[in-house]
Chain A
Amino acid sequence: GAVVSQHPSRVICKSGTSVKIECRSLDFQATTMFWYRQFPKQSLMLMATSNEGSKATYEQGVEKDKFLINHASLTLSTLTVTSAHPEDSSFYICSAAGGPNNEQFFGPGTRLTVL
């Protein structure tokens, strides 16, 4: 299947700082990427849909000014958690749409811990 990478895999930061997470599709071009958040023992919750060359579409309840998304190219989308707080600690996973029916291929996830 298609390969999606995510960096960093784990990050620990102080409260109030900003953290950038990168999502890359390594062997295919993805016009659409998705950002999810997952709490322990729960399902994936879609945060936003990232479209190359245009603004991201955020799900209800997700603050667009806090979770900045930039889809600069067909292979890269970034999520920046601004002014992070302990409640932002979570597992963040990206996916890229590819394949014949735009199946989603997931990155390995980023574990964010805000102290």
Chain B
Amino acid sequence: GQQLNQSPQSMFIQEGEDVSMNCTSSSIFNTWLWYKQDPGEGPVLLIALYKAGELTSNGRLTAQFGITRKDSFLNISASIPSDVGIYFCAGDGSNTGNQFYFGTGTSLTVIP
């Protein structure tokens, strides 16, 4: 199936720093989702975006639905050790029914 381009692939940051990652697609999407996955567990939904330009926050996390509908961004402010994990974006196109395509993931390591 289709995969989205997600960058960076991995990040190593100091505790307290801000983090930014993005996801791009060659197709237009109607919905963008951001998930976090801890080792050995299933992904947990962080933020859902439903329309172009939308900016949504969840605590220290902020995500935006790109105007072109082909990209999305996730920012984490003032990172803490428990932010460690793999972050995935997912997009839903108009002709994919309920199917979402997933990004390749961004592995985040926070150094105390």
Residues of A within 8 A of B (CB): 1, 4, 6, 32, 34, 41-46, 49, 59-60, 91, 93, 95, 97, 99-109, 111
Interchain CB contact under 8 A, B99 and A49: yes
List CB contacts (< 8 Å) of B37-88 with chain A: 40-45, 48, 50, 88
User: CA–CA, A10 to B69, complex, Å?
Assistant: 39
State how many angstroms separate the Cβ of B75 from the closest Cβ of chain A: 20
Chain B residue contacts of A45, Cβ below 8 A: 1
Interface residues of B, Cβ cutoff 8 Å to A:
1, 3, 30-31, 33, 35, 40-45, 48, 50, 88, 90, 92, 97-100, 102-105, 107
Return chain B residues, CB-CB under 8 Å to A107. Answer: 42
Q: Does the CB pair A103–B104 fall under 8 Å? A: no
Which has the most chain A C-beta neighbours within 10 Å: B31, B99, B105? B99
B105 contacts which of A1, A43, A102, A111 (Cβ < 8 Å)?
A: A43
Given contacts A44-B88, A44-B102, A103-B33, 13 further A-B contacts (CB under 8 A): A6-B42, A43-B3, A43-B104, A46-B1, A46-B102, A49-B97, A93-B42, A95-B42, A97-B98, A103-B48, A104-B90, A106-B45, A109-B42
CB within 8 Å for A102 and B98 given contacts A43-B103, A46-B1, A59-B1: yes
Cα–Cα distance between A49 and B88 once the two chains are bound (Å): 19
Q: Given A59, A91, A104, which contacts B100 in the complex, CB threshold below 8 Å?
A: A104
Chain B CB within 10 A, most for which of A46, A99, A107: A46
Q: Choose one: A32, A102, A105, A111; the contact of B45 (CB below 8 Å).
A: A105
